[in-house]
Structure 1
């Protein structure tokens, strides 16, 4: 008899494939046990796979597939209600579903349900005979689907609720699965009743994202935050307003101040208050992501704050005045493992070598003619494993010329520390990639370097950068020799772009 993996062992193995939908789909065909475990993982967050397929240019196909499966899982009374109103959404088969897929869901996006229904019904010709308007049909289907989720999800882990006037009324009072909620992403303009209901059943949120769309913040939202016992990550997003009216309530909560270890601030307006950040002394990670209309006036005060546990500090777009940031690094740089700043300043780059000796990951821009700064960083930061660096020219804001790829290659080969293993080159404007001769010379020199270590070379580019076929063949040659791992990625940074 062939040996079979135990259910627990198989479950743990397939969990590691959570982000690979192709392999998980193939696991569906092995046998019933494999199918059940794979389906549970795939349906944990169906919205994530929806976006993957959207990027593959098949939005309607995947929306129809998800909604048809959900309709197949609806209770009989809901199906009869749709039939009575001449709303026909084809199901995968005429037989009952093999699994109750809804019970596997751990992530619920209220707005995604609305979009899903709207996209399908707008393009479903079989519903033209219904006496209901398209808006009413959307509302009816959305209500029944959402009611099924609230009744059948046994344990909800993540909820996204971005306010929309067409969202149907619902109550969390009768949603027992929300008691296990760990992550909430919402906008501040959600009806206060929602925050009140959620606060009555949920006090163990660990991650909260709030997008502020007006200066008014409901007391119910403040109360919900105050009742959380283990909040670890807080993201505040100022889109057209400020979080100023929210800060006083937040900073009065000693339990919240003591438990939060990650604070991410995004904004696109002026004069956002920042000095309150100094009260969160247990922070391990801070991201300040502000666009080019914002400023860092409050950082003049924050530069003197002390965060003894801080390991990750990122400024994906703008950064404060170099003298303020240098003082901040002088106080807090010793324990930093990751430092990320968009743009370049020679004095700031030099201070990294002075104040951040334990860095493992670094993203900076170094201007043309300042190659010695990069050498100094390598010589001082002996734990550095990865560096992301601008090359070529940038025309955003002001024209700036960074180091050339050839300079970076030579410096990486001769001066990077022994554990260094990843070089990521960023481009943002027109530029020609390094010549094939210089690229191959770099690979040869890396091959002969002691100690030997596989190098990940990643080219992060916009659509105007071309890596010619000869360079790709050279990279493939040294990949096959086990010298490097080469990849080309579109220009994108998750710290700049956020998604509710």
Structure 2
């Protein structure tokens, strides 16, 4: 009982480290129990492994997977004269494939391709054929070993899938699917027979014909929450009626691509949206958005419009109707009227990314004064190719004097050399130290084409000295 309690506690503790791979790697070395718990978390998604030397990591993952292959697969590789540099008879410490909860067909194929690309082959197989055989053996192994798959990604048909979903028991628990519309209809048909509880669905529309099997798969879902659609080269208008069946359950909607390929007036039926990302290129007018400006999305909390946005008057009317509950607003377009309207239409914002031209300092001040819940802001500074934005000094002075008490995160994208002096920077941090209540400040500076905060070492001395006083 005591041993089980210890295991459960460690599971709970180490689970919180799942986003920190470096710490998890250290846990592997403590003892056998810590290793067993940590390795299960690390191998949930092999695509999450990160390293400063990714080629070494890729090679290690591939070698480990080779050792996990069943004897039948090893014999297939041997018959095709596909040899590896480690003894494939070596027994692994764990059945790593069984731990996997997220499977990417593309990532496995890419992993194999990267490892074998520069290796000399002494058999008659082409590189593509060799990669095809190895990739499919890995996929077969995962399909036989994974008892509960949560996420499946399959974005193109370069590596044809040979396994059949009815013999993949773990796919019944699938909650997240990322795919492209060009996959064979049978792929979607088999999946539709087993998976009715998808919560997240992401589709790239990259073929001119949308199969009825894909429509059926979408239609059969019982509780779809997150929907991401990308249409860059082909129209997906024919699938809109199927999507509308989920208008009451979908709370996150992401639309990407060309506005001509994805008519987005259908969004008006998704009135329970909490998050809406609207990312299009090549639609200078976005006339479809004119229909959305009067729709009431009473639960909307996050609105992101990177790249181009609709006519300012359309967006301002949209914010007038839906900005009261908005917590997060993001756009990298600039319009003075829009900036001035935000404090009135979106008083409860917590995070904001907006571009302020060099003559729009008053708009930033007004946002700080009226948006008293604001915690985070992202801005551009300096001179770009076509526009000049507020300077870092103006940003620092305004944040120090006008930001609300809850404010704690400043992110600056520097497009040109900074004109902030050491004295300016020191003054800013001293002002921050005197704030009541005192909250730790997260200051992030991302450099553009030119360097920013040039006297880096001296600046860091100031930052460290000031925060030691906090």
TM-score interval, normalised by the smaller of the two chains:
over 0.9
Distance in 1 (alpha carbons) for counterparts of 2:91 and 2:212 = 46
* Alignment correspondent of 2:310: 320
Residue 424 in structure 1 maps to residue 414 in structure 2: no
1:116-141 CA deviation, whole Å, 9 max, x = no partner? 2222223334xx33343333222221
Matched, 1:78 2:81: no
Q: Per the alignment, in what secondary structure is the counterpart of residue 253 of structure 2?
A: strand
The corresponding residue for 1:87 is 82
1:170-224 Cα distance to aligned partner (Å, 9 max, x none):
3112111000111111111111110000000001101111011133211111110
How far, CA to CA, are the matches of 1:294 and 1:118 in structure 2? 40
Distance in 1 between the 2:210 and 2:450 partners?
43
Q: TM-score, normalised by structure 1?
A: 0.89
- Within-5 A mapping of 1:188-203: 188-203=181-196
Match status 1:437 vs 2:432: no
In the superposition, relative to structure 1, how do residues 464 and 36 fare at CA in structure 2: closer, same or farther (>3 Å)? Answer: same
Distance in 1 between the 2:126 and 2:459 partners?
60
Q: CA RMSD in A?
A: 2.1
**For the Cα contact (< 8 Å) 2:351–2:374, is it kept in 1?**
yes
For residues 276 and 205 of structure 1, the distance between their equivalents in structure 2, rounded to whole angstroms, comes to 21
- The CA distance in 2 between the partners of 1:189 and 1:214, in whole Å, is 5
Return closer, same or farther for 1:75/1:3 CA change in 2, 3 Å cut-off: closer
Contact 1:64 1:120 in 2 (8 A): yes
SS of corresponding position for 2:272: coil
Moved more, 330-339 or 405-414: 405-414
CA distance in 1, matches of 2:224, 2:439: 40
- Cα pair distance change 1:483/1:285, threshold 3 Å: farther
Give the counterpart of 2:295 among 301, 305, 316: 305
1:370 Cα deviation (Å)? 2.0
1:482 aligns with 2:437: no
Matched residue, 1:497: none
Structure 2 counterpart of 1:457: 443
The 2-side partners of 1:176 and 1:169 are apart by 16
- Structure 1 residues not aligned, in runs of 5+: 486-500
Deviation of residue 246 (structure 1)?
1.6
Q: Deviations over 1:313-365 (max 9, x none)?
A: 01121111111111001100000000111121111011111111111101111
Partner of 1:371: 361
Q: 1:115: which partner in 2?
A: 110
| Structure 2 residue ranges without an equivalent (≥5) | none
Deviations 1:351-392 (A, max 9, x none): 111111111101111121221111111111111111111211
| Cross-structure match for 2:61 | 66
Moved over 4 A (4+): 2-5, 292-295
d(CA) in 2 for partners of 1:34, 1:451: 40
Task: Pick from 209, 218, 223 the counterpart of residue 211 of structure 2.
Answer: 218
The answer to whether the Cα contact below 8 Å between 2:74 and 2:88 also exists between their aligned partners in 1 is: no
Shift of 1:92: 7.3
Identify the residue that residue 379 of structure 2 maps to in structure 1.
389
